[in-house]
């Protein structure tokens, strides 16, 4: 009788132990935090996609799967910018030594894709003005295949264009105290060009 009770007790203990181990394994297999998931996604990504995820993580931007990399512009061997976008908004990722360090000014929501029209298929996003040069960023409709920024002196600079985003290095800054400093000439897929102020 004592042996039977001892056997039943050991069997119950073994079953509880197995359940506990199974539970521990189940908990260990589940992603611990959003940070852990983001780290795994960032490690799996390469190139501009990795840089984009690093920037989004640095600014704690949600819904990271909705974002995709666009135009990239390097200012020198170790510094540059990557424009990233969703179907609605865009942002500018700061790049240092092929790593995304964060978003310049966060997600830009006052210039969004919903405001683009056939008459104005591009829009200003933001600028980084340096003493001797500036980098300007913008968004465009999907049928814009080329963008040139025309400065106040009439000289134009070709932009890097990708997936409805563009970035251009130019001599003239975009002066917020003026209605607009630079103008844009956008080339559409059908060959037509559309001109207008950079900030409309």
CATH of the domain at 142: 2.60.40.10
- Residue 168 inside a domain? The answer is yes
Residue-level pLDDT at 174: 84
Residue-level pLDDT at 8: 35
- Residue 16 inside a domain? The answer is no
Domain count, the chain: 1
In Å, how far are 41, 87, 138, 174, 188 from 144, measured between CA atoms?
A: 31, 16, 12, 22, 4
Residue-level pLDDT at 44: 75
- Residue 161 inside a domain? The answer is yes
Distance of alpha carbon 13 from alpha carbon 74, whole angstroms? 64
Residue-level pLDDT at 108: 95
Residue-level pLDDT at 7: 37
Rg for the chain, CA atoms, rounded: 26
Note the Cα 176 to chain centre separation in Å. Answer: 24
pLDDT tens profile 121-179: 999 999 998 888 999 999 999 999 999 999 988 999 999 999 999 999 998 888 767 76
Long-range contacts of 93-102 (CB under 8 A, 24+ apart): 93/51, 93/52, 93/54, 93/55, 94/55, 95/51, 98/51, 99/51, 99/54, 100/50, 100/51, 100/52, 100/53, 100/54, 100/55, 100/56, 100/58, 101/54, 101/55, 101/58, 102/55, 102/58, 102/59
Residue-level pLDDT at 42: 58
- Residue 40 inside a domain? The answer is yes
Q: What is the C-alpha end-to-end distance of the chain, expressed in Å?
A: 92
Residue-level pLDDT at 43: 62
In Å, how far are 34, 36, 39, 58 from 43, measured between CA atoms?
A: 14, 11, 6, 15
Structural domain harbouring 180: 31-200
- Residue 89 inside a domain? The answer is yes
- Residue 7 inside a domain? The answer is no
- Residue 101 inside a domain? The answer is yes
Residue-level pLDDT at 33: 35
Low-confidence residues of the chain: pLDDT under 70 = 1-43, 176, 179
- Residue 46 inside a domain? The answer is yes
The bridge status of strand 183-188 relative to strand 193-197 is antiparallel
Which ranges constitute the DSSP H helices of the chain?
Answer: 2-29, 34-44, 47-58
Do the Cβ atoms of 54 and 45 come closer than 8 Å? no
CB count within 10 Å of CB 190 equals: 7
Tokens representing residue 116 in the block? 């683009």
């Amino acid at each position: 009788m004592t042996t039977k009770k001892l056997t039943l007790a050991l069997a119950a203990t073994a079953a509880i132990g197995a359940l506990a181990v199974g539970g521990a394994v189940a908990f260990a297999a589940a992603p611990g935090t959003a940070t852990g998931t983001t780290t795994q996604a960032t490690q799996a990504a390469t190139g501009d996609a990795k840089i984009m995820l690093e920037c989004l993580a640095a600014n704690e931007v949600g819904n990271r799967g909705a974002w995709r990399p666009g135009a990239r512009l390097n200012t020198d061997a170790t510094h540059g910018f990557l424009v990233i976008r969703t179907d609605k908004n865009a942002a500018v990722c700061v790049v240092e030594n092929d790593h995304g360090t964060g978003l310049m000014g966060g997600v830009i929501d006052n210039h969004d894709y919903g405001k683009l029209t056939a008459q104005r298929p591009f829009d200003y996003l933001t600028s980084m003005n340096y003493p001797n040069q500036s980098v300007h960023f913008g968004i465009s409709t999907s049928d814009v295949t080329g963008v040139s920024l025309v400065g106040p002196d009439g000289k134009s600079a070709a932009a890097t264009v990708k997936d409805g985003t563009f970035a251009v290095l130019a001599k003239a800054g975009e002066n917020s105290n003026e209605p607009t400093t630079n103008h844009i000439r956008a080339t559409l897929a059908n060959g037509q060009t559309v001109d207008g102020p950079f900030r409309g």
